[in-house]
Amino acid sequence: MTERTITGTGSADVVRRPHRADARRNFDALLVAAREAFAQHGTGASLEDIARRAGVGIGTLYRNFPTRQDLFDAVYVDDVEGLRREAEKVAGLPPWEALVTWLRRFVGYVATKAAISEALNRESAMFRSCRDIMYGAGEPLFARAQEAGDARADISFDDVLRLVGGITGASFVDDEQRERVLGIALDGVRARPAGAV
């Protein structure tokens, strides 16, 4: 009963968008509210609160998203899809710049921050599929940066993603500091000219 269908092409049709106009409005409002709530309170955000924020009854929430997971997935898949699109956008940039730009998007973009690290580990068809998409998007950028001699050769893309994921989940005084700290981390990813211990 835990299995769900994920479209192979990567489109986010995990749950069906309703046909009727009012239903579609509610569906969208729920997604917006859920994204906000998950970003604010993490995976455990109150579903009743989400329904309230969306201005719909709790019953409507459950009809559209029978389980918490269904709702979370819908938001999460959107985020991951967004990251995939971002990867395409930066494809034209020089290797290192492309990687850095994408990773910055990664930190800024993802609303489901609180669950990122969980998602990297979680064993479920859905999470695995999203992780694949994320890797499919980012790993080539990293490999290209490595081949160009810009990124260290002795680490994996998974390492980088978890490093940046950690920063995504951390808290900062302001955006400026977050950028600075991300910069420090990226310096660690960057290849050294010579070799220092």
Partner DNA sequence: GTTATTGTGGAGGCATACCTCCGCTATTGC
Partner DNA sequence: GCAATAGCGGAGGTATGCCTCCACAATAAC
18 binds, among a second copy, DNA, none (CB under 5 to 8 A by kind): DNA
- Write the CA distances from 190 to 68, 103, 141, 179, 194, integer angstroms: 39, 13, 13, 16, 12
Taking the complex as a whole, the smallest distance from the CB of residue 30 to DNA amounts, in Å, to: 9
Partner touching 195 among DNA, a second copy, none, CB below 5 to 8 Å by kind:
none
Task: Mark residue 36 as left, alpha or beta (left: phi above 0; alpha: psi -120 to 50; beta: remaining).
Answer: alpha
122 vs 180, which CB is nearer to DNA? Answer: 122
Does residue number 144 form part of the binding site for a second copy (CB under 8 A)?
no
Nearest by Cα to 85 from 138, 36, 143, 157: 138
Q: How far apart are CA 57 and CA 39, in angstroms?
A: 21
CA distances from 124 to 25, 67, 128 (A): 30, 15, 6
Tokens standing for residue 158: 């998974």
Enumerate the β-bridge partners of residue 190.
Answer: 151
- Picking from 84, 71, 88, the residue whose alpha carbon sits closest to that of residue 35 is 71
Q: Could you say which of 57, 136, 149, 166 contacts a second copy (CB under 8 A)?
A: 166
Is residue 172 near a second copy by the rule CB under 8 A? yes
The DSSP line for 27-47 is HHHHHHHHHHHHHHHGGG--H
Q: Name the site residues for DNA (rule: CB under 7 A).
A: 18-23, 25-26, 44, 46-49, 55-60, 62-64, 66-68
Contact flag: residue 188 with a second copy (CB under 8 A): yes
- For a second copy, which stretch binds (CB under 8 A), given 31-39, 83-91, 134-142, 173-181? 173-181
By a kind-dependent CB cut-off of 5 to 8 A, residue 146 interacts, out of a second copy, DNA, none, with none
131 binds a second copy (CB under 8 A): no
* Residues in the chain, total: 197
- Residue 68 binds to a second copy (criterion: CB under 8 A): no
User: Binding-site residue total for a second copy (CB under 8 A)?
Assistant: 36
Give the nearest distance from C-beta 167 to a second copy in angstroms.
5
Q: Which residues bind a second copy (CB under 8 A)?
A: 44, 117-118, 120-121, 152, 155, 158-160, 162-163, 165-173, 177, 180-181, 183-190, 192-194, 196
